[in-house]
């Protein structure tokens, strides 16, 4: 379950991204656009980390403490895949 704080942060990021689109449409200085893109990327990384933490503290704990070994394996595989994808980017 995603926290309200994460949702609010995503909405803020959405507004920031719209600002970047406006900058590009208005032919803003390239370095300024790049800096704003980097700010959005950093904000997305932070919210991604928050959502992952929420997931670890809810779904993963429930699965690990549960009786179904297939569910434990599935959840741990998901975490491994997310980590693997994050190292590729």
CATH code for position 70:
1.20.58.1000
Task: Name the token pair of 76.
Answer: 């741990």
Proportion of the chain in helix, strand, coil states, percent, rounded to 5: 90, 0, 10
Separation of alpha carbons 19 and 24, rounded Å:
9
Q: What is the pLDDT of residues 10-39, one digit of tens each?
A: 999 999 999 999 999 999 999 999 999 999
pLDDT of residue 52: 92
Kindly tell me if the per-residue pLDDT of 51 is higher than 90: yes
Average pLDDT value for the chain:
93
pLDDT of residue 89: 63
Q: Give the number of domains in the chain.
A: 1
| Nearest to 35, CA basis, from 14, 20, 15 | 20
**For residues 58-84, average pLDDT:** 90
The boundaries of the domain holding residue 45 are 4-88
What is the distance between the terminal CA atoms of the chain, rounded to a whole angstrom? 25
Angle at 74 between CA 70 and CA 79, to 5 degrees: 150
pLDDT of residue 3: 86
**For residues 74-80, average pLDDT:** 91
Separation of alpha carbons 36 and 21, rounded Å:
10
């Amino acid at each position: 379950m995603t926290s309200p704080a994460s949702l609010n942060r995503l909405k803020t990021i959405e507004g920031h991204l719209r600002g970047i689109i406006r900058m590009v449409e208005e032919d803003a200085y390239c370095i300024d656009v790049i800096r704003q893109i980097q700010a959005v990327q950093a904000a997305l990384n932070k919210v991604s980390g928050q959502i992952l933490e929420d997931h670890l503290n809810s779904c993963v704990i429930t699965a690990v403490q549960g009786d179904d070994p297939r569910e434990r394996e599935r959840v741990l595989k998901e975490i491994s895949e997310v980590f693997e994808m994050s190292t590729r980017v």
